[in-house]
Structure 1
Amino acid sequence: MNESTKLREALLKNWKNPALAWQIFKRVLCGPSPCPLSLCKSLPIVADILIRSKMHPQLDTLHHVLLLHTSLHSSSLFALVRILARSGLLDMAVSHFHSIRKQLPHIPPPVYLYNLLLHSSIQENRSDFIPFLYKEMIFSGVSPDVYTFNLLIRGLCDAGHTDDARKVLDKMHQKGCIPNEFTFGILVRGYCKAGLAIEAFRILDEMRGFGLTPNKVVYNTLISSFCKEGRDEEAESLVDKMREDGLVPDIVTFNSRVAALCKDGKMLEASRIFRDMQTDDALELPRPNIVTFNLMLKGFCKIGMLEEAETLIETMKANCILMTLQSYNIWLMGLVKKGKLLEARLVIKEMVTKGIEPDICTYNTVMDGLCKNGMFSDAKVLISLMQSRGILPDTRTYTSLLHGYCSRGKIFEASYTLNEMMRADCSPNIYSGNILLHSLWNEGKISEADSLLQKMNEKGLDLDTVTCNIVIHGLCRSGKLDKAMEIVDGMWNHGKTALGSLRNLYLGLVNDSCAGNRCTPDMITYSIIIKQQCEAGRLEDAKKMLIEMVGRNLYPDSIIYNTFIHSYCNVGKIASAFRALKDMEKKGLQKTLHTYNSLIMALAKNNQIFEMHGVLNEMREQGITPKVCTYNTIIGSLCDAGQTNDAMSLLNEMLQKGIVPNIHSFCLLIKAFCGEGEYRAAQEVFEIALNISGHKTALYSTMFNELLLGGEIIEAAELFEAAVEQCLHIGKFVYMDLIDRLCKDEKLDHAIDILHKLIDKGYSFDPAVLIPVIDALREMGKKREADEFTEKMLNMSSEGGVANKVWHSGEGRNHLKLKKKGQSEWKNIVHRDDGSAIALKALQRVQNGWGQGSILHLHSLKKDISDFWEDAG
């Protein structure tokens, strides 16, 4: 047995004792005349032993000893670098390689070693090594081969530098290297990954220029990318192009198309392809496999098409297509998302019956649904079931339970869950901690929030910007705005350690590591502070904070601008609000309904009707549909300004656009028309309101009170009687004034008839309403009737009303039957129930009768709105 064999056997015999194996090899290596061949053959064995045992210092020693032995061939040193790189110790491999190049600059490393180090750098996402290795390669005089260039292109593409990757392809020609199909395939994949499918498609022509035909992988990559970018026609053309190149589209081709379409929610297009794969034999399409079915199932579940998903499930079962664990988990996800928890439970039972054991993903899906629906007892039972089946709850399991408790204000249970989570050796993540921290601040439990924050730090959770935002928001809600601002300022310099400025409890709570320094304010941080400053009336401070944001390269979004606009409008600084709006437009930010509603309300307060119409027109141009509250604000202002025709035009616009006016909309117009003495018009609006909103107390009381105020006594009386017939609440009707006016107008019988109807319907009303009737009877000499009413009034006073029966809401009762011929017009109106079509016709009659007003258009505002930051009133 020669020396080389003996050394290898000694090392293998002691591989479980790495320290002894190392000593044996070291003794031979440092001996008086080590055998180079023996050491070279034994080097992989000892290196593997040291790597497995994580004896990294010994590996460094091995490297330095090998460098000292000039008798050993350089291949031993290169072999050690190769072993380290392949074992995942890239940093050590590159360090040793750099050392070799310094000590032995005259010995060029082989090209395969450069390629191996480049490949390992790409695999481990260490793009910082790639420029060094390539420069070192060129400096050593080692010529890159095609594989080298392919690696460089891949590394650049993975880093998103597709333009540089393209330059490397061009440089290959200069170096005399001919690109192969892998070169172009890598570049195509890089362009597709960057969302540049068109540029990737152009690469195909270049391939053909080198006599290369794209393979299926290249085509499938391109087809998938086109589908993701919504270029369905181009994807179809590529499938045809594959056939022209003699390639038959396979299941991967079609699954790529189906996957991209399903991901974008384009289920109709995906279903068409899926159907063709099942039925179209003429085109020789591949039959769908389990991957295809799962893609379709996931797509249906994602957008809530459960009926289609269930049909697909039944098809899979009927055709004996294997239902995998993944299939069941997707189906469960869809059911839980729609709140169908009972069906989800049956699916789990079916899985167990078929011998498919649910995994942690299965249980977590159901757990999430139970907790979102507040079914916490069922959630606890599910955890027990998981444990009985040998599946331990993980962070997601407990986080679902934690989030469920917090969303329903069950802070005690949430805290207990967090402690239970830690007792189960299931480390909470920062998301779990932040959920509970947010709930504690919302509940005003500041001391508990402090305690939790300390525990989060003690458990090694890396407090992040979200954590800081929760604390800042909590401080703002607690009225500690200045303290919150201190933390924001401190975050820029100290990261999460800025929380230490809260109070002594936080001093030393978090370290000042680099990770902490990266915990900087974001858009949400500034949104919280600016909103609070504006609400506190500190607009100047808010503007300074905005300027600070921009200085920190954080640019305000629509929410922040809306906050400023709303605040300026609230304090009457309309010109400043419009300056903010103009600045918003310059930044290209999307204006919202909230933006315009704030401006319209402010203009309405100032009676700026002309400008208000202009804002409404701009909303229409921007494609933003006004809501009922928007219309009501404008209608109210128009009514106040006496522009009732324009107000009716807006009501017409609402109805035509399918925006249902509310009771307030109609009441505004009823009051306006009655105020102008247009009672017929008010009556028409009232008719429309009944058809749209139903028999509501507010409508009747508004119409009645306005009629009475305008001296339309008989009409008011008839409307009041109709309300009583509907059993509506009469608390907002000034019926005492009605009785008094009827008595004064010598319509005593009518007044008495109304009182009898109130009594017969069981209403409780103020006994003082009988006084005008009693006085009128006495003046007419009807003493006996007067005495009867007096006695009734006294009885009502002692009993607290006509009867113990209280008024009943008539909303929802059947409409009363129409009176015979001679019934009043009011009775006819309130008893009609002929739909919204009549309402629209009635509205047109009203407008035709009064003349249709036109809505004004906005010209440029009189005030200059060029400078947002210059405060104007």
Structure 2
Amino acid sequence: MEETRKLLKTIHQNSNNPKLAWNLFKQIFSSPSSSTHHHHLVPTITRILLNANMHHEIENLRNLITSNHPNNAHHSLLSILHILAQSRNHIDFAFSHFKSLRAHFPSTPLSLQLYHLLLRSSLQHNRPHFVTSLYTDMIQAGVNPETYTFNLLIQSLCESNALEHALQLFDKMSEKGCHPNEFTVGILVRGFCRAGKTKQALEFVDNKLCFNVNRVVFNTLVSSFCKQDMNDEAEKLVEKMREKGLFPDVVTFNARISALCKVGKVFEASRIFRDMQMDGELGLPRPNVVTFNLMLKGFCQQGMMKEARSLVETMKKAGNFVNLESYNTWLLGLLRNGKLLEARSVLDEMVENGIEPNIYSYNIVMDGLCKNHMLLDARRLMDLMVNNGVYPDTVTYTTLLHGYCSNGKVFEAKAVLNEMIKKGCHPNTYTCNTLLNSLWKEGRKCEAEEMLQKMNEKSYQLDIVTCNIVVNGLCRNGELEKASDVVSEMWTDGTDSLGKENSVAGLVNSIHNVSTSMPDVITYTTLINGLCKAGRLEEAKKKFIEMMSKNLHPDSVTYDTFVLSFCKQGKISSALRVLKDMERNGCSKTLQTYNSLILGLGSKGQIFEMYGLMDEMRERGIGPDVCTYNNMISCLCEGGKTKDATSLLHEMLDKGVSPNVSSFKILIKAFCKSGDFKVACDLFDVALGVCDHKEALYSLMFNELLAGGKLSDAKELFEVSLDRSLLSKNFMYKDLIDKLCKDDRLDDAHSLLQKLIDKGYGFDPSSFIPVIDGLSKRGNKQQADELARIMELALEDKTDRNGNTIFRRKLHKDGGSDWQDIINRDVGSGIALKTLKRVEKGWGQESISSLLPQKNDFLDY
């Protein structure tokens, strides 16, 4: 025994080096002098190997025990099974070990406690199919079940939604000498209620009058009735509780309030809450802190901030707003409703009142800041946390990382990931998937593949979501063959597909500990969508057939992908055939389905049928969105029905569907095309009120006025755009200047050029040509020369980093400048001719990429 203690101590000392501990154990256990006392080492080495996720070595341990010490193997294998069954997230491995144990020792009975341990673990880790095997083995081994055993079995059947089988087992308990207890009844009632069969649960309770039905069972039923909007039944049940002498307690009423708030029925919940607050007149229990917190959460979830603030004040006066949960509920409510400053003050208030914010409190605020794109403040909050002794956890870092990814800041997101790893905070699956998705979305394929490789090396446990992100990323980048290879290899190789060089599929499938690598509906829908967008419909159909052959049933999104593709190609009959198949397989039409069909019908000019679809949408409770209306408006405008199109715009506004820039662009173009510029301008004014002062609206209206010969209106709008700093390459301002010159409005053209210069905009120097020419013909030699010299400077100067043509004054030592020298030189038309030749060769309307003000350059100027 002394020797065993020494060996145990040696192995314990090397627990931080599991490989060394394992090699040491193998040497001890395999030596010819190894004694039966060495079996005491087995639990220790098992725990070390399990903590290091060295599952293969545990398998070897099992073989080592059975081969070297077969006579004493049973006890050692049992100790391994006990440890595995008690470990988190190792139930699959434990069950594998259990089957191996039964194969070696089929006739040796196991203890009832061990069966119970395995049954509980199977339920906790959502493996109800293990339960049946365990019970069968238990009966075959001659181990008599107890009431607790049946309770576990019934719970397993309920969680598998096999309620009828659970009832049958309940009835057979007495045959095995076991009597149901109140826990048995409670398990069955909860199972029926979770399945939405509350009435059947109540019938079961009424039929089993011989059993004790406690208050917990009644509270479960009351809560379930409230969730299903069966408030009258809940009230009757509360009365029945009183009749049975089970007076409803605060838990009963909290269950009702919680259920009502969860389904958004806060007003009904508040009426119950108000009755509870009355001075015992109704004989109801007084609300406790949980009741107040439930109501506060309900008000906040429905955006009823006035009622929530009033309740907080009431809680503070009554002394109920004193715990951390209340503050966290209030913090979450404020941030969900965009009250960031108020939430920050609540954090300060917590500290003042001696209630230290916990990690959950800070994570709530972190989430609110990131969702509102306040990433700098989120970073400062992390510093504040550390200063207050609360260290960021995986949720904190992942929230910040997601915030950066949502704003397209992948570099910063990667820095967050590196930081959290350095701080000893391990990323979870969601962390990795978030960054991976962002890398693919930004088209950073090499970095995404590099990250996958690192995940493989670090043995991160990933899931099917990871694989779907890769498939989606490849489709986004046009690598459809590789995406298809990934899907195929997920079926054929699973997690055993190792080491395919330069293969994304190999990387995905070689990741260790992938929970499941089998493609799902999302995988196929993603690939089908990529193929359809690329116009490869025949290949998409083949993937659809393959999906069905794998017993994966398509959903509405899958069908919508085909409907949209056919409609875009004008193949309405094919789209309708898909629609029939969709409805035959139980998939309902979605908003996307209707929008696709309306788009397709619009391309055929079938306006009557489009209106029919909109009516059908409303009948089915699907409200048209801005895309629906835009498709309708576009079709009507193309058919010359601008009045009907305008009516649809009014309908949008009446129904609270906000038109976007595209809605107004379609209409403005249509009215300008028909020559009705007054209505077009009225629509432009409405658009500014709805969509704000967007450059796209100004450039559209300007170009349409210009094309329609409305030079004065176009000039006025152009000057307004300049004042609002909305000028871009979309404005055909060069044509305006040219037309003004041809229309003998040289002064107007000259003033526009001068305004471009004075406002500090980059410009196309070729727009100077007609003005210079006009001034020269008029005899304004000095003004023509001055413009020509400015133009020459612009041509000689380099463009800025945005491609804008900017001219800068070049200062001399004496304080003069090249520009001043050129202006003072009497070379006049010579410079103009030289400039014109250079412009004819190299400059054109497309030379401007952006015309936003260049403030730094012109401050120097």
Fold in common (TM above 0.5) = yes
**Taking structure 1 as reference, are residues 548 and 573 closer, same or farther at Cα in structure 2, changes over 3 Å only?**
same
User: What do residues 773-810 of structure 1 show as CA deviations (whole Å, max 9, x unaligned)?
Assistant: x9xxxxxxxxxxxxx99859999977879xxxxxxxxx
Q: Equivalent residue for 2:107?
A: 102
Q: Equivalent residue for 1:414?
A: 413
> What letter matches 1:467 in structure 2?
T
Contact 1:434–1:470 (CA<8 Å) still a contact in 2? Answer: yes
Paired residue secondary structure (2:216): helix
Counterpart mapping for 1:852-867 below 5 A = none
Q: Equivalent residue for 1:401?
A: 400
Give the superposed CA RMSD: 5.3
Counterpart mapping for 1:553-572 below 5 A = 553-572=551-570
Q: Equivalent residue for 1:457?
A: 456
Larger CA deviation: 650-659 vs 196-205:
650-659
User: What do residues 259-309 of structure 1 show as CA deviations (whole Å, max 9, x unaligned)?
Assistant: 222222322222222121112522211111122222222333334433333
Paired residue secondary structure (2:586): coil
Deviation of the 1:166 alpha carbon: 0.4
Larger CA deviation: 190-199 vs 94-103:
94-103
Q: Equivalent residue for 1:125?
A: 122
In 2, the alpha carbon distance for the partners of 1:132 and 1:633 equals 58
In 2, the alpha carbon distance for the partners of 1:54 and 1:764 equals 82
Paired residue secondary structure (1:102): coil
> What letter matches 2:600 in structure 1?
A
> What letter matches 2:478 in structure 1?
G
Q: Equivalent residue for 2:202?
A: 201
In 1, the alpha carbon distance for the partners of 2:506 and 2:156 equals 45
Contact 2:493–2:509 (CA<8 Å) still a contact in 1? Answer: no
* Structure 2: segments with no counterpart, 5+ residues: 10-37, 48-60, 88-93, 690-696, 722-730, 757-766, 789-861
Q: Equivalent residue for 2:442?
A: 443
Q: Equivalent residue for 1:540?
A: 538
User: What do residues 222-262 of structure 1 show as CA deviations (whole Å, max 9, x unaligned)?
Assistant: 11222233322221221111112122100111111122222
User: What do residues 44-65 of structure 1 show as CA deviations (whole Å, max 9, x unaligned)?
Assistant: xx9999979979999999x998
In 1, the alpha carbon distance for the partners of 2:755 and 2:381 equals 56
> What letter matches 2:431 in structure 1?
S
Deviation of the 1:325 alpha carbon: 1.8
Counterpart mapping for 1:612-651 below 5 A = 612-627=610-625, 630-631=628-629, 633-634=631-632, 637-638=635-636, 641=639
In 2, the alpha carbon distance for the partners of 1:152 and 1:508 equals 41
Answer yes or no: is 1:171 the counterpart of 2:172.
yes
Contact 2:193–2:221 (CA<8 Å) still a contact in 1? Answer: yes
Q: Tell which has more relative contact order, 1 or 2 (C-alpha 8 A, sep 6+).
A: 1
Q: Equivalent residue for 1:425?
A: 424
In 2, the alpha carbon distance for the partners of 1:18 and 1:767 equals 94
Larger CA deviation: 761-770 vs 451-460:
761-770
Q: Equivalent residue for 2:154?
A: 153
Counterpart mapping for 1:201-350 below 5 A = 201-208=202-209, 210=210, 212=211, 214-279=213-278, 281-321=280-320, 323-350=322-349
Counterpart mapping for 1:177-192 below 5 A = 179-192=180-193
User: What do residues 548-597 of structure 1 show as CA deviations (whole Å, max 9, x unaligned)?
Assistant: 11222223333333322222233332322232233333333343444333
Contact 2:420–2:427 (CA<8 Å) still a contact in 1? Answer: yes
Q: Equivalent residue for 1:606?
A: 604
> What letter matches 1:157 in structure 2?
C
Quick one: percent identity of the two aligned structures?
45
**Taking structure 1 as reference, are residues 335 and 14 closer, same or farther at Cα in structure 2, changes over 3 Å only?**
farther
**Taking structure 1 as reference, are residues 250 and 64 closer, same or farther at Cα in structure 2, changes over 3 Å only?**
farther
In 1, the alpha carbon distance for the partners of 2:504 and 2:43 equals 45
> What letter matches 1:527 in structure 2?
T
Q: Equivalent residue for 1:596?
A: 594
Deviation of the 1:456 alpha carbon: 1.5
Contact 1:483–1:502 (CA<8 Å) still a contact in 2? Answer: no
**Taking structure 1 as reference, are residues 581 and 363 closer, same or farther at Cα in structure 2, changes over 3 Å only?**
same
In 1, the alpha carbon distance for the partners of 2:532 and 2:73 equals 70
In 2, the alpha carbon distance for the partners of 1:656 and 1:18 equals 82
Q: Equivalent residue for 2:583?
A: 585
Paired residue secondary structure (2:208): helix
Matched length: 700
Counterpart mapping for 1:832-843 below 5 A = none
> What letter matches 2:117 in structure 1?
S
In 2, the alpha carbon distance for the partners of 1:124 and 1:169 equals 22
**Taking structure 1 as reference, are residues 14 and 54 closer, same or farther at Cα in structure 2, changes over 3 Å only?**
farther
Contact 1:371–1:400 (CA<8 Å) still a contact in 2? Answer: yes
Contact 1:402–1:418 (CA<8 Å) still a contact in 2? Answer: yes
> What letter matches 1:102 in structure 2?
S
In 2, the alpha carbon distance for the partners of 1:485 and 1:794 equals 70
User: What do residues 70-110 of structure 1 show as CA deviations (whole Å, max 9, x unaligned)?
Assistant: xxxxxxx9xx99x9799959989999999999369xxxx9x
Task: Please give the TM-score of this superposition, normalised by the length of structure 2.
Answer: 0.67
Paired residue secondary structure (2:248): coil
* Structure 1: segments with no counterpart, 5+ residues: 1-10, 21-45, 69-76, 675-681, 709-715, 742-750, 775-787, 802-873
**Taking structure 1 as reference, are residues 758 and 635 closer, same or farther at Cα in structure 2, changes over 3 Å only?**
same
**Taking structure 1 as reference, are residues 136 and 54 closer, same or farther at Cα in structure 2, changes over 3 Å only?**
closer
In 2, the alpha carbon distance for the partners of 1:225 and 1:358 equals 34
Q: Equivalent residue for 2:760?
A: none
Contact 1:337–1:369 (CA<8 Å) still a contact in 2? Answer: yes
**Taking structure 1 as reference, are residues 101 and 643 closer, same or farther at Cα in structure 2, changes over 3 Å only?**
closer
**Taking structure 1 as reference, are residues 575 and 419 closer, same or farther at Cα in structure 2, changes over 3 Å only?**
same
Contact 1:500–1:510 (CA<8 Å) still a contact in 2? Answer: no
Deviation of the 1:141 alpha carbon: 8.0
> What letter matches 1:582 in structure 2?
K
Deviation of the 1:522 alpha carbon: 2.4
Give the number of the structure whose alpha-carbon radius of gyration is greater: 1
User: What do residues 391-445 of structure 1 show as CA deviations (whole Å, max 9, x unaligned)?
Assistant: 3322222222222232333333322322222222222222222222223333333
Paired residue secondary structure (1:124): helix
**Taking structure 1 as reference, are residues 368 and 738 closer, same or farther at Cα in structure 2, changes over 3 Å only?**
closer
Deviation of the 1:489 alpha carbon: 1.0
